[in-house]
Structure 1
């Protein structure tokens, strides 16, 4: 493994160091900023470094914050797209190994939460504590709930094949009730970036089927030395990813932690999310 192309940029008065790490089958763009314990942010959906930037800036006063693009997204290229979440977890493991010999703190949301949990199962020595915000662990849902969740995901994939990425992502956002108006007052509207549709195609082609087929080893998670914190949005109690988080908390025998906003609270409530992360990891 080798890091290439290190660059520096001032973000919010702090220096962001950006580079690329070569891993088997891919080159991962990652960014590091701040000082303190290493905190990895694993974004959900088709998001990566850019979507996590406001949250990372709010956390850089206390942590060394690591963000990255999954293989195939934005600045991360791949010759072998991930077809399972274990590939993503192993990518993250190699990224952490490159940067620190110590166990890291991890915050993941949605697909990123499922990757974070798989990292904790497969590489437990690399994780000190993990906050898993609304991970789509569909295996834990009741049969009607699981049928609903998998049906929604399949419908989104079918919409993609029939109509394209943009209509499919609109359907997906409606299913999990993404509300851009549920945001902090100073958060500007998010305009789709130049990689929006290409990243969405990666999610819809490879990652969404991987979510549907993934089975989390909950027993191994219970035995992990890492502290595992299931979390969910204050305003997302009506959607199935929130139910997944609640069921995971029950399985682990730990309280469900609530975070500001809905399923994408880390994007629309970066300040409040950062404060909750500090509280949870500091407790």
Structure 2
């Protein structure tokens, strides 16, 4: 358990296991803990790095922030972490908006990425109804400002994710500071972010899009399938729903490692 000083923040991170480097990027709520059930399995074959993204929990902000360039900054944080730990080129797994960060990382810093697994990133710009979804996220933000975190989170999860995810999401420990930071700086900003498809084009052979089998028909599944079509890369299906890495961790890890072994990565 260590911290890395980066411009404007200090990144809390942990290293587990041994083998090829693997970095796990979280979406909401931005903290390493969401991967706790997964790393005990992955660490049998990989050196697994987990961290809190800047502004969440133990990764404290330390200076002015350029929120107009926050996605680029998030990607640069991962690049700095990989270089600092000499873990690259690394296998990079990013879930939800962490998958958006992972795609930005590959577009901007391909030298540190060996293989990229974007798991259900909400890439709204690829969907024909993306503007409708962006409008919904703005409505959720307005609900958060009017009625608070509970009402907004309930509306968000019930419209966006499969029923198999709802119960765990509702029971998950809540950190109001993390939730507020996510509502203010990520909910409306990351899903409609422009993907650097042209910058990704030379590196598509490194991308393995991934979805949860129980997410079929829901936003992030459909967005990821559109991403796979744009990149001409077949998506893999992993156990569980949007948070299968929590609810179905052993099976999720086993299938992920099987995929990487099959791809000789």
Q: TM-score, normalised by structure 1?
A: 0.85
- Trace 1:97-116 onto structure 2 (pairs within 5 A): 97-100=83-86, 102-116=88-102
- Structure 1: 5+ residue stretches without partners: 1-17
- Trace 1:249-260 onto structure 2 (pairs within 5 A): 249-260=228-239
Q: TM-score, normalised by structure 2?
A: 0.91
Determine the C-alpha separation between the residues in 2 that align with 1:255 and 1:211. 24
Question: Partner of 2:58: helix, strand, or coil?
Answer: coil
- Determine if contact 2:88/2:112 at 8 Å carries over to the other structure: yes
Partner of residue 115, structure 2: 129
Q: Deviations over 1:171-219 (max 9, x none)?
A: 2111222546789xxx9x95415xx211111110011232144101112
Deviates most, 49-58 or 225-234 = 225-234
Partner of residue 215, structure 2: 236
- Determine if contact 1:82/1:207 at 8 Å carries over to the other structure: no
Paired residue total: 258
Question: Partner of 2:122: helix, strand, or coil?
Answer: coil
1:175 to 137, 156, 159: 159
1:233 to partner: Cα distance: 1.0
Please tell me whether residue 267 in structure 1 is matched to residue 250 in structure 2. Answer: no
Shift in alpha-carbon separation, 1:76–1:108, aligned structure 2, 3 A: same
- Trace 1:1-283 onto structure 2 (pairs within 5 A): 18-78=1-61, 79-81=63-65, 83=67, 84-100=70-86, 102-142=88-128, 145-177=129-161, 179=163, 191-193=172-174, 196-224=175-203, 227-283=206-262
- Determine if contact 2:157/2:166 at 8 Å carries over to the other structure: no
Question: Partner of 2:241: helix, strand, or coil?
Answer: coil
Greater helix share, structure number: 2
1:267 to partner: Cα distance: 1.6
RMSD, aligned CA? 2.0
- Determine if contact 1:82/1:88 at 8 Å carries over to the other structure: no
